[in-house]
Amino acid sequence: MNGALVLLLAHLARPELPAARAVAVALAASALLVVSAGLHELAHLVMARRAGQPVGGLVFGHFGACVLVDQGDAAERDLGATALYVVAGPAVSLGLWLGLAALADAARAASSTLALTLGIASALNLALLALNLCPVEPLDGGRLLRCLTLAWRRRAAAAGSA
């Protein structure tokens, strides 16, 4: 499915591209997306471990990847540490989006096919970033919203008891 979508993107971007070259672009951009998703999740894993949170591992599946982190009881959770490991993935996706776009611009003079591949991979990282920041669980945006909500409730409870 991923490869078919990327092939469609390649064809829409450059309809004159021969089919064999379009397939090569789609396969390479798809591979870059898989690597990007892995780096996104690896950033979560590294930051969670740095925060001392128990990490069960990194799981890859057909629809992406996820890091298994025991967040503990909501009342006892370090919300700052949780927010840092949650935001680490989108930060990597942001860097990959911008970095791949810069590489695509740099490659344009040398190879239009390479530039197209990197440009599509960049656009897919932007899509990954936007999707992950949607404020619904279990996406990163939803997890950040939960951290903010818990922090607000703690602050309100502390102000009420003072």
Is residue 56 within 8 Å of residue 69, measured between CB atoms? yes
Cα gap 50→112, rounded to integer Å: 41
Cβ atoms within 10 A of the Cβ of 134, count?
A: 12
Instruction: List the catalytic residue out of 16, 41, 76, 137.
Output: 41
* Annotated catalytic residue 41: yes
Q: How far apart are CA 78 and CA 57, in angstroms?
A: 20
142 SS3 class: helix
Sequence-distant (≥ 6) Cβ neighbours of residue 25 within 8 angstroms: 6, 10, 17, 113, 116, 117, 120
DSSP 71: -
**Catalytic machinery residues:** 41
